[in-house]
Amino acid sequence: MQGTWRWNVVFGITGVVLTVLFSIGNNPLSVIMLRSLYAFVTFFVLAYPARYMFAAILKPPAMIGEPQESDEAKGHSLDVTTPDEGEDLNELLKAQMQGAASAEEQPEMKGAATEGAEAGFQPLTPPQFVSAANKQPEEMAKALRHLTGE
């Protein structure tokens, strides 16, 4: 069964607290204590089926048809090597270079791949902000006062 008897005690104490809270204003202390004892026992016993249902619901499904590996073999080896893709990368670069060269030689062939190569990379050039080097000190002080709210 999932869990320990401590969970049952927690459920029992929860029952005691609820019983005391709901009957503190209507019953004398002796009745409250007796009903709290009954609530503890009832919640303690009802915690077993509740724990069983939670364990059945939260249990992960078993994989059917897959052999179980032994625990001894798990975690002892780790393959961290990557395959050598240098040759594939060289082939792609050669194909790109040949494609760009053939597009320059044959301008009538315009495809999606050659259009991107012809356009080339153009970096983003945002507009320049106004430099503060040629501003007068009075204008700079005025701008600073405006920004700080003075």
Confidence of residue 78 (pLDDT cuts 50, 70, 90): confident
Of 46, 53, 47, 43, residue with least CA distance to 13: 43
Confidence of residue 63 (pLDDT cuts 50, 70, 90): low
Task: Write the burial class of residue 39 (CB in 10 Å: 0-12 exposed, 13-18 middle, 19+ buried).
Answer: buried
**Type of residue found at 46:** L
Q: What is residue 32's predicted lDDT score, i.e. its pLDDT?
A: 93
The HSE-up count of residue 98 (CA atoms within 13 Å, CB side) is 6
Q: What is the pLDDT of residues 83-137, one digit of tens each?
A: 777 888 888 888 888 876 665 555 554 444 445 555 677 877 777 776 666 778 8
